[in-house]
Amino acid sequence: MKRFVVMVAVAALWTAGGTAAAKSVAKVPDVVDAEAFMKGVEAELMSLWIYQSRMDWVRNTYITDDTEALGARANEAVMEFVGRKGAEATRFDAIRARMPAELKRKFDLLKMSLDMPAPRDAGKRAELAGISTSMDSLYGKGRYCSKRQGGKCLNLVEMTELLAKNRDYDDLLDVWQGWHKVSPPMRPSYLRFVELANEGAKDLGFRNLTEVWTSRYDMPPADFQAETDRLFEQLKPLYQDLHCHVRAKLVEKYGADKVPPAGPIPAHLLGNMWAQEWSNLFDMLAPEPGAAGAIDLEAALKTRKTDERAMVRYGEGFFTSLGLPPLPDSFWVRSMFTKPADREVVCHASAWDVDQKDDLRIKMCIQVNEEDFTTIHHELGHNYYQRAYNKLSTLFLNSANDGFHEALGDLIALSVTPKYLKELGLIDREPPESLNPLMKRALDKIAFLPWGLLVDRWRWGVFDGTIAPERYNQAWWDLRLKYQGVAPAVPRSEDDFDPGAKYHIPSNVPYTRYFLAAILQFQFHRAVCRQAGHKGPLHTCSIYGNKEVGARINRMMEMGASRPWPEAMKALTGEERMDATAIIEYFAPLHAWLKERNKDRKCGW
């Protein structure tokens, strides 16, 4: 996940005071004035970001009523400052056309690079900060005490582990239902959150929060939404064939009375709390069961007595093999690698740049398994991106767009190939060519695509009012059926709040970035593999150890948010448009195999 996104509010309308006579003699601002104004804003904003990051680190790694209050106060301080400065900034609108491109971009980013705009009213601003903090902490403290598990009270990490490895239908359903009991108490808070955030968006000059979120991609909001639709349509046939095959195997496992042969898949049976990634079902889905191509990375790590810190060292080693410097010593002292036994924490993996310079950290409750091995490579991608652009101006301290930040780490994870694992000594030899690795990756990457799209499709509808509060839960499941072909195995009602059972909803983290990252990582991968001179199928390419490619990646990362994202993409790939054909090329051998297996099946739902 990208570093904690600063939640700030900017007012869009500046009301000039004074009489008409006073206005007539007021100094008309020029570009020099605008530059001086922005310099002051960035300097103070940097201080506030650091203050907020430190407070939020403590709140995430030591959840108490006190740290919640401190986190809310920090968020409110940032919102107040940027709201006030945003209002003042409108006096430079008249000279916008004369501003240098870099300065103009900063004024735009001040307004648009925001996830939670707050109302101007101080009381409402404090209320919004408090709601945001309390929902986030409620999620982090979530527990379910299961009778089927002997009355044990399970946290999300433990429930995730059970869903990954248990195959008992009723055990899975019990845990799935249990976790989804955590979120209904959030529902009233979320309704109020939407009201307040939309009010803040209107103060910015936007119609609603949807328009704020979709305005940050160097294209009109409507064009961006159409672009995401175009990309998904490119990939839908591959997803539908994967869904068809997985469903057929689940029918074999559980029977047609529990898994409808021509309908949606029950949401609790896919090895993941949200059915967003299905690789935990690989044992029943391997194209070549028992083949040497099926690498058990978890077993290899545990055989070598790999601990959590050593897992992170493997990830760091990939980046240093590309010619990038090691992580700072403070990273190893200040990061959270395991869940503390003495307190509540937010275990959801995230990467942090606490001082916007060298205080890089990750926060994870690492499990020694393949999923977290990959996640570590992803999170360190954020850290290396953060360090690459840390010399830029304050408002440029971000990736070209938020999808780039997510894609960079995943680009590295695509190089976790048998060849790479052999070089690390985790396997003794590369296995013969097999479809098994492709299937395992497809169960993560292809299965994720509709989920990556629908989370914000739901929020966009909530924010713009097309999804009314009395339909929140129904609309959620309508979208999951439409895009994923997934449905709940037990009745759901508006007394439930199933969207809140996913971290990014109560924490208000935009999600379309992950969908974009799913596209971009393969586009990046194809480009760097061509640059590396790779021969052979795209899925066999690893850039591990290629310093020339590392230098090219670093040049792109160093651009931060200083230029429109098509320019950053061109710097790395030579292309200026997002393109899903790289995914189609990557998985082509598996797709052909799936089509053959599905030829006598009724696909779709």
Confirm whether 101 is domain-assigned.
yes
Say yes or no to pLDDT of 2 above 50. no
For the stretch 47-83, pLDDT in tens is 999 999 999 999 999 999 899 889 888 988 887 887 7
Domain count, the chain: 1
Confirm whether 75 is domain-assigned.
yes
The catalytic residue among 129, 268, 406, 568 is 406
Helix (H) or strand (E) holding 345: none
Please report how the helices 187-204 and 436-464 are oriented relative to each other, as an axis angle in degrees rounded to 10.
70
Look at the alpha carbons of 382, 383, 388, 390 in this order and tell me if their dihedral is positive or negative.
Answer: positive
Q: Between the CA atoms of 364, 447, 370 and 518, what dihedral angle is there, to the nearest 10 degrees?
A: -60
Max Cα distance, the chain (Å): 86
For the chain, percent of residues with pLDDT exceeding 90: 77
Query: Where is average pLDDT lowest: 93-102, 110-119, 265-274?
Result: 110-119
Assigned token pair, 344: 């509540």
Q: Which domain holds residue 67?
A: 28-137
pLDDT band at 113 (very low <50, low <70, confident <90, very high): low
Residue 144 three-state SS = strand
The catalytic residue among 217, 420, 472, 514 is 514
Q: For the chain, what is the mean pLDDT?
A: 91
Q: Is 243 part of the annotated catalytic residue set? A: no
Confirm whether 376 is domain-assigned.
no
The pTM for the full model equals 0.86
pLDDT at 357: 87
Neighbours of 22 (CB within 10 A): 10
For the stretch 8-53, pLDDT in tens is 333 332 333 344 334 434 577 899 999 999 999 999 999 999 999 9
pLDDT at 78: 85
The catalytic residue among 245, 268, 377, 378 is 378
Question: What is the CA angle 445-3-377, rounded to 5?
Answer: 45
Q: What is the mean pLDDT of residues 230-239?
A: 96
The catalytic residue among 180, 268, 377, 504 is 504
Confirm whether 59 is domain-assigned.
yes
The catalytic residue among 180, 243, 245, 348 is 348
- When computed from its CA atoms, the radius of gyration of the chain, rounded to whole angstroms, is 24
Q: Position 23: which residue type? A: K
Give CA–CA dist 203/9, Å, rounded: 9
Q: Confirm if 131 and 21 have CB atoms less than 8 A apart.
A: no
The catalytic residue among 349, 351, 475, 568 is 349
Give CA–CA dist 227/280, Å, rounded: 31
Q: Is 379 part of the annotated catalytic residue set? A: yes
Q: Is 525 part of the annotated catalytic residue set? A: no
pLDDT at 583: 96
For the stretch 365-374, pLDDT in tens is 999 998 899 8
pLDDT at 17: 39
Q: Is 180 part of the annotated catalytic residue set? A: no
What DSSP character marks residue 115?
S
Give CA–CA dist 282/440, Å, rounded: 6
Q: Position 86: which residue type? A: G
Confirm whether 107 is domain-assigned.
yes
Confirm whether 55 is domain-assigned.
yes
Give CA–CA dist 334/424, Å, rounded: 26
For the stretch 440-481, pLDDT in tens is 999 999 999 999 999 999 999 999 999 999 999 999 999 999
Confirm whether 35 is domain-assigned.
yes
Q: Is 245 part of the annotated catalytic residue set? A: no
The catalytic residue among 245, 382, 525, 539 is 382
Say yes or no to pLDDT of 287 above 90. yes
The catalytic residue among 239, 379, 420, 561 is 379
pLDDT at 108: 86
Assigned token pair, 369: 């398994």
Give CA–CA dist 487/482, Å, rounded: 10
Confirm whether 248 is domain-assigned.
no
